[in-house]
Structure 1
Amino acid sequence: MEPHPVAHGALDEAELAQFGLHPDQVIDFSSNINPFGPPAAVLAALRALDPAPYPDRSCLRLRQQLAQRHRCRLEAVVAGNGANELIHLAARALGAPGTTALVAAPAYGEYAHACRLAGMQVVEVRSTAATQFQPDPAALLAAIERLQPRLLWLCSPNNPTGVPVAIATIVELAHACARYGGWLILDRAYLSLERDVAGHDPLDDHAPANLIRIYSLTKSYAVAGLRIGYAIAEPEPASTIARWQPAWSVSSAAQAAALAMLADTAFLPATLPRLWAASDELAAGLRQLGLTVWRSALPFMLVQCADAALTRRRLLAHGCVVRDCTSFGLPEWVRIAPRLPADNARLVAAWREIASL
């Protein structure tokens, strides 16, 4: 059976055209992007870029900086065309047709999609609102023992719930997978948006050998259009993943922007408190409307509604795009990423309007 397309957030110009809307007329609350970026240093690097030469297909300078940041060997770093490319590369390079991929759900739909494209069987272990969306380590460990998965996909902090998984639990799950020759692929795309982010990943100090960590540089620096992410793994699996990657996958623009981001040590400390303040204000405004708002370790939030698809359509008519979470298996929730304070006030006003219908 041919896999279905994966639902995503962000603006869809074809859909907007059906509503008679132009992208300039809507505010995108569906994309988890820092509204206070991109940094000036990134824009300056892009203006100075010579687009004529081919990009460095080894991404050497970028990988050197990332290896320094994560205190690992250069050979442990794979740069990619966004975290999404690395998800697909990992599924094809480390998975195998007919084997099992286990997904800690609700989760980003590309994990399952990439594994199905690689000929794998996908099984979910789901957390629910009734348990505060907390993943159940015992259930995951039992599923590993029963299914002996080739791949276990885990997102921490999670999209769409924002829930983090304890480092000790991640390590325990990785060791359980290793007993059956499996890999734990950990999505860290949103780690840098945590309120009290430490500035480094604690897993840099004691990552199991079968742990593949995937990071994004586009969310916290607001450069999603450039597509830049990277993976950290032991040199052997990193090399295996890289062999599946097309040449020149990471553009010169993405590499130049990433180097500028990594050199800018002031941007995140300056903007993350503002992002969290906007998140706090938006969550309070929505709760004042009587809405149930779920928020955990990330600034984006889930808002409960009777019908997520209908709520999204009604808000879109008011120029606000939110993420219908039906594709996550959460048809009574929408996901909202905070924007600038004036934009957030517009969303609250739009919600108040649709609530009176």
Structure 2
Amino acid sequence: MTPRIHGGGDHLGVARWDFSSNANGCGPCPLVLRAVQEADPSHYPDPSYAALRSALAGLHGVEPARVLLAASASECIQRLTAWRWRAGDRRFWTPTYAYGDYAHAAAAWGLVRVKEPGLAQLAWLCDPGSPLGQGESPDAVRTLLNQTPRTVVLDRAYTPLRLKGDSALSAEQTDRVWQLWSPNKALGLTGVRAAYALAPLGAQPDVQTLESLAASWPIGAHGEAMLRAWTQPEVQGWVAASRATLTQWTQALSDMLVGRGWAWAPSEAAHGCAKPPHALDATALRARGIKLRDAASFGLPGWWRLSAQRPEALTALDTALNGLALEVAR
């Protein structure tokens, strides 16, 4: 079973300076935070989530019947995998470096990984992806979207945090895949669990099947408030404006690390991977209030994933690395 390893809080709590999570460093979005804080949890949500579906459909310009609600992106990954296993799929593919929950869900349901995308019945894309923040391979996209029937899911968790470049998928291709959206990262509210997927054109019956596999009321009042706020123009404007700031912070992060002799992999998003010139003592760094994401679980041993953070966080990281270097020198 592939272990589930994530950034963010751990058994020690939340790090004072957390570079391990890919949440928007400009967050939380004030408008959405207020909406979540004002949510009324004393009543059940509408079990059909009719108003929420309509709002999300309006945001993306699709029919409400194409909207599939989920408790979180990870829950949706599990449910989509279970659905495909029940339909007879037994082979899956992910990019070489990808979010571990895809493989974990596949292992839980008995799907076997294949090396070539053309052999897969279920395939996962993430554009830009994690951990590297790079776009997907156009060749892989073309292979997956040829005439062979298969289910392709495009994880769009980092689409709102793309700082440069364009998706490998055209608008026509995007309409042929499942699009998985988890706005809590872009909003800097990863503790609020709620997500949704947009079905491919003509796949409305599959949405109904997937809804039958979900528990009742998958999204609580706070998650519903977050997703409703996500559809507002003011919130979309806040996210768009944050990208200019994140571009500066990402550049400052890479400049500082490269100046210390780290290798920095090219990234199109507000996160990326870097490799220090010497082994990094993550425990000692954590004791200084700094947390990075070990990229070994992504298949990149010796590399660390970091997200763009505020200048004071970058100063703290720089100071902590200085401290570790002095200790090694002694």
Length-normalised TM-score, structure 1: 0.83
Residue number in structure 2 paired with 1:89: 79
Residue number in structure 2 paired with 1:259: 228
Residue number in structure 2 paired with 1:110: 101
Deviation at 1:242, TM superposition (A): 2.0
The counterpart of 1:344, out of the listed 291, 314, 327, is: 314
Residue number in structure 2 paired with 1:66: 56
Q: Is the 8 A contact 2:261 2:277 kept in 1?
A: no
Tell me the distance in 2 between the aligned counterparts of 1:203 and 1:76. 19
Q: Tell me if 1:11 matches 2:9.
A: yes
Q: Tell me if 1:324 matches 2:314.
A: no
Q: Is the 8 A contact 1:292 1:303 kept in 2?
A: yes
Query: In percent, how many aligned pairs have the same letter?
Result: 28
Tell me the distance in 2 between the aligned counterparts of 1:90 and 1:203. 23
State the number of aligned residues.
321
Residue number in structure 1 paired with 2:195: 229
Residue number in structure 2 paired with 1:216: 182
Residue number in structure 2 paired with 1:136: none
Compared with structure 1, are the counterparts of its residues 68 and 206 closer, same or farther at alpha carbon in structure 2 (3 Å cutoff)?
farther
Residue number in structure 2 paired with 1:243: 212
Secondary structure, in 3 states, of the residue corresponding to 1:277?
helix
Q: Is the 8 A contact 2:2 2:100 kept in 1?
A: no
Compared with structure 1, are the counterparts of its residues 313 and 307 closer, same or farther at alpha carbon in structure 2 (3 Å cutoff)?
farther
Secondary structure, in 3 states, of the residue corresponding to 1:219?
helix
Partner amino acid, structure 1, of 2:260:
L
The counterpart of 1:302, out of the listed 270, 273, 281, is: 273
Tell me the distance in 2 between the aligned counterparts of 1:114 and 1:182. 17
Q: Tell me if 1:172 matches 2:163.
A: no
Q: Unaligned stretches of 5+ in structure 2?
A: none
Compared with structure 1, are the counterparts of its residues 291 and 4 closer, same or farther at alpha carbon in structure 2 (3 Å cutoff)?
closer
1:264-279, aligned counterparts within 5 Å?
Answer: 264-279=235-250
Q: Tell me if 1:190 matches 2:153.
A: no
Deviation at 1:261, TM superposition (A): 2.4
Secondary structure, in 3 states, of the residue corresponding to 1:220?
helix
1:73-122: per-residue Cα shift (whole Å, max 9, x none)?
Answer: 11111121121111111101123467111121211000011111112112
Deviation at 1:354, TM superposition (A): 2.0
Tell me the distance in 2 between the aligned counterparts of 1:206 and 1:303. 32
Secondary structure, in 3 states, of the residue corresponding to 1:154?
strand
Compared with structure 1, are the counterparts of its residues 52 and 346 closer, same or farther at alpha carbon in structure 2 (3 Å cutoff)?
same
Q: Is the 8 A contact 2:41 2:220 kept in 1?
A: no
Q: CA RMSD in A?
A: 2.4
Residue number in structure 2 paired with 1:207: 174
Q: Unaligned stretches of 5+ in structure 1?
A: 17-21, 126-142
Compared with structure 1, are the counterparts of its residues 221 and 187 closer, same or farther at alpha carbon in structure 2 (3 Å cutoff)?
same
Deviation at 1:197, TM superposition (A): 8.0
Tell me the distance in 2 between the aligned counterparts of 1:303 and 1:226. 29
Partner amino acid, structure 2, of 1:5:
P
- Greater Cα offset, 240-249 or 93-102: 93-102
Q: Tell me if 1:40 matches 2:30.
A: yes
Q: Is the 8 A contact 1:70 1:204 kept in 2?
A: no
Tell me the distance in 2 between the aligned counterparts of 1:244 and 1:173. 29
Q: Is the 8 A contact 1:39 1:261 kept in 2?
A: no
1:88-167, aligned counterparts within 5 Å?
Answer: 88-96=78-86, 99-123=90-114, 125=115, 143-145=116-118, 148-165=119-136
Q: Tell me if 1:289 matches 2:260.
A: yes
Compared with structure 1, are the counterparts of its residues 266 and 182 closer, same or farther at alpha carbon in structure 2 (3 Å cutoff)?
closer
Secondary structure, in 3 states, of the residue corresponding to 1:119?
coil
Tell me the distance in 1 between the aligned counterparts of 2:289 and 2:158. 26
Deviation at 1:249, TM superposition (A): 0.9
Deviation at 1:322, TM superposition (A): 0.3
Partner amino acid, structure 2, of 1:292:
A
Secondary structure, in 3 states, of the residue corresponding to 2:219?
coil
Compared with structure 1, are the counterparts of its residues 265 and 207 closer, same or farther at alpha carbon in structure 2 (3 Å cutoff)?
closer
Deviation at 1:351, TM superposition (A): 1.7
